[in-house]
């Protein structure tokens, strides 16, 4: 087990380069299963969710070659298995994207129900609704596995009852090689949905309307080799913007698409943060004390739920009372119990959290509860007085490439150390 040790109080200053988007990579890599040829994918983030996805691909029979740390060549012409084992699927939510891609390629997928961050109930009814609309049947198996089978997938209309990123991705994946046209209504509009569609179209798919709430997928016979580069990570970019604001810093966040960051930029500006936009970079400075504001998380283009925990750290230090309403997940405030140990004053009632801003935070030992809750603790540690230790950092490393190096380059005092507990258990 490792932990981060952070001595707070340093202003973050300098430049940081944003990596490829996690939530695009974990959809695009399973999508390669549909391609009868070699795919070269650039700008893949080096994070543990990507390693897990690549392990699943290898277990299915993919040939994977690293060109460099962030570029991979995948040849799926030799795929022979269609079962994703539980010990891999349990590590990440997006393992269910293999249902859509294996079903599309082979007409059969056996996948364990997925793991991932714990935000309460995370149903997949809308994914299953999409598969059955295209003619597949779904059966539960032993050990938490499900089997999804179709003789021939046929395009159909799918109306999603909730705006779901995952169900939109799975509907696209299963429809690309289906006969006829699939229309996905009430689709998610996140940048990674557009990126997945662009990737598949570069391989010969015919997907139109990604980025709007009606996506049309015109089925094609086969997909061919392609070379594609993943978009920059919107949430990683937002995280460094918040870290700069939290420490009163001056950070140029490079390799971003400013349009993807508009909802985050707008809220930071409301809090008194200065945000300057360039073509593919954003500079964030915070001259004065933060001002309170209210935030409601929404599907894209609303304020992203994944930025809710980092921004909560800013609101906990802002002048006055702020309210966050979480409208995407039923239980995404678990991390606040940990932040209270650092002096955060917040009351949580269901999907609403009310923050009474304090002048400063104080260091404490804390445990990352999940990926974005964990990064909130890191940001709090950077801003706090004293030395904060963040444990359970495997959650954070699912989604942030080179976090320690990137923060240290900006002047943070942060180290990743092996805990004495794990040294003892290794010695035994």
- Catalytically annotated residues: 117
The tokens for 205 are: 């798919």
Q: Which stretch binds ligand EPU (CB under 6 A): 54-62, 121-129, 140-148, 384-392?
A: 121-129
Q: E strands within 179-219?
A: 181-185, 206-208, 214-218
Pick from 100, 104, 135, 166 the residue near ligand EPU by CB under 6 A: 166
Pick from 66, 87, 125, 144 the residue near ligand EPU by CB under 6 A: 125
Torsion of CA 213, 205, 193, 106, to 10 degrees: 110
Rounded to the nearest 10 degrees, what angle do helices 165-175 and 191-202 cross at? 10
Specify whether the CB–CB gap between 271 and 294 falls below 8 A. no
Buried b (16+ CB within 10 A) or exposed e, 261-300: bebbbebbeebbbebeeeeebbbbbbeeebbbbebebebb
Pick from 150, 165, 251, 261 the residue near ligand EPU by CB under 6 A: 165
126 counts as binding ligand EPU under rule CB under 6 A: yes
Please state the closest distance from residue 5 (CB atom) to ligand EPU, in A.
Answer: 24
Pick from 10, 305, 369, 388 the residue near ligand EPU by CB under 6 A: 305
Classify strands 274-277 and 295-296 as parallel, antiparallel or unpaired.
unpaired
How open is the CA angle 154-181-53, to the nearest 5 degrees?
75
350 counts as binding ligand EPU under rule CB under 6 A: no
DSSP string, 21-85: -HHHHHHHHHHGGGBSSEEEEES---SHHHHHHHHHHHHHT-EEEEEETTEEEEE-TT----EE-
171 counts as binding ligand EPU under rule CB under 6 A: no
Please identify, using beta-carbon distances, which residue of 131 and 290 lies nearer to ligand EPU.
Answer: 131
Please state the closest distance from residue 137 (CB atom) to ligand EPU, in A.
Answer: 17
Specify whether the CB–CB gap between 107 and 150 falls below 8 A. yes
Q: Which stretch binds ligand EPU (CB under 6 A): 162-170, 178-186, 222-230, 269-277?
A: 162-170
93 counts as binding ligand EPU under rule CB under 6 A: yes
117 counts as binding ligand EPU under rule CB under 6 A: yes
Pick from 236, 306, 391, 397 the residue near ligand EPU by CB under 6 A: 306
* Separation CA 315–CA 144 (nearest Å): 40
Please state the closest distance from residue 297 (CB atom) to ligand EPU, in A.
Answer: 8
Q: E strands within 291-345?
A: 295-296, 321-325
237 counts as binding ligand EPU under rule CB under 6 A: no
Please state the closest distance from residue 48 (CB atom) to ligand EPU, in A.
Answer: 13
The tokens for 410 are: 């900006």
Please state the closest distance from residue 25 (CB atom) to ligand EPU, in A.
Answer: 9
3 counts as binding ligand EPU under rule CB under 6 A: no
Among residues 303, 311, 315, 317, the alpha carbon closest in space to that of 239 is found at: 311
Pick from 131, 329, 333, 335 the residue near ligand EPU by CB under 6 A: 329
94 counts as binding ligand EPU under rule CB under 6 A: yes
The tokens for 124 are: 């997949």
Please identify, using beta-carbon distances, which residue of 318 and 324 lies nearer to ligand EPU.
Answer: 324
Please identify, using beta-carbon distances, which residue of 94 and 364 lies nearer to ligand EPU.
Answer: 94
Please state the closest distance from residue 228 (CB atom) to ligand EPU, in A.
Answer: 18
Please identify, using beta-carbon distances, which residue of 306 and 391 lies nearer to ligand EPU.
Answer: 306
How open is the CA angle 171-395-273, to the nearest 5 degrees?
90
Please identify, using beta-carbon distances, which residue of 266 and 417 lies nearer to ligand EPU.
Answer: 266
Distance of CA 14 to the CA centre of its chain: 25
Among residues 386, 396, 391, 312, the alpha carbon closest in space to that of 355 is found at: 312
**Residue in the shown chain whose Cβ atom is closest to ligand EPU:** 166
Q: Which of residues 175-234 bind ligand EPU (CB under 6 A)?
A: 188
23 counts as binding ligand EPU under rule CB under 6 A: yes
Q: Which stretch binds ligand EPU (CB under 6 A): 140-148, 151-159, 164-172, 375-383?
A: 164-172
For tokens 């080799």, what's the residue?
A: 225
328 counts as binding ligand EPU under rule CB under 6 A: yes
Q: Which residues bind ligand EPU (CB under 6 A)?
A: 23, 26, 93-94, 117, 122-127, 162, 164-167, 188, 305-306, 328-329, 371-372, 399
């Amino acid at each position: 087990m490792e932990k981060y040790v952070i001595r707070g109080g340093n202003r973050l200053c300098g430049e940081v380069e944003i990596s490829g988007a996690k939530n695009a990579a974990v959809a695009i890599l399973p999508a390669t299963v549909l391609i009868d040829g070699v795919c070269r994918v650039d700008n893949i983030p080096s994070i543990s969710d990507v390693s897990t996805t690549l392990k699943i691909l290898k277990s299915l029979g993919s040939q994977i070659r690293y060109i460099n740390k962030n570029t991979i060549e995948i040849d799926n012409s030799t795929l022979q298995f269609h079962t994703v084992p539980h010990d891999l699927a349990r590590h990440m939510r997006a393992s269910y994207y293999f249902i859509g891609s294996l079903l599309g390629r082979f007409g059969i997928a056996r996948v364990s129900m997925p793991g991932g961050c714990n935000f309460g109930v995370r149903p997949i009814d809308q994914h299953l609704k999409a598969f059955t609309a295209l003619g597949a049947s779904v059966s539960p198996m032993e050990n938490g596995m499900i089997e999804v089978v179709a003789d021939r997938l046929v395009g159909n209309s799918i109306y999603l009852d909730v705006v779901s990123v995952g169900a939109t991705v799975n509907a696209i994946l299963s429809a690309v090689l289906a006969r006829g046209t699939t229309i996905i209504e009430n689709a998610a509009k996140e940048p990674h949905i557009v990126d997945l569609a662009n990737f598949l179209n570069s391989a010969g798919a015919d997907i139109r309307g990604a980025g709007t709430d009606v996506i049309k997928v015109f089925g094609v016979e086969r997909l061919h080799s392609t070379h594609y580069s993943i978009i920059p990570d919107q949430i990683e970019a937002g995280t460094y913007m918040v870290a700069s604001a939290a420490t009163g810093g001056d950070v140029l966040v490079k390799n971003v698409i400013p349009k993807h960051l508009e909802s985050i930029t707008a809220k930071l500006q409301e809090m008194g943060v200065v945000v300057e936009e360039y073509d593919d970079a954003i500079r964030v400075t915070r001259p004065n004390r933060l001002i309170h504001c209210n935030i409601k998380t929404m599907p894209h283009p609303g304020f992203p739920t994944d930025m809710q925990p980092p921004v909560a750290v800013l609101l906990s230090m802002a002048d006055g009372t702020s309210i966050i309403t979480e409208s995407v997940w039923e239980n995404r405030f678990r991390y606040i119990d940990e932040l209270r140990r650092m002096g955060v004053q917040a009351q949580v009632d269901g999907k609403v959290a009310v923050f009474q801003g304090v002048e400063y935070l104080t260091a404490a030992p804390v445990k990352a509860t999940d990926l974005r809750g964990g990064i909130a603790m890191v940001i709090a540690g950077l801003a706090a007085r004293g030395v904060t230790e963040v444990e359970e950092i495997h959650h954070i490393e699912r989604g942030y490439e080179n976090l320690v190096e990137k923060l240290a380059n900006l002047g943070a005092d942060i180290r990743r150390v092996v805990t004495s507990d794990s040294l003892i258990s290794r010695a035994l």
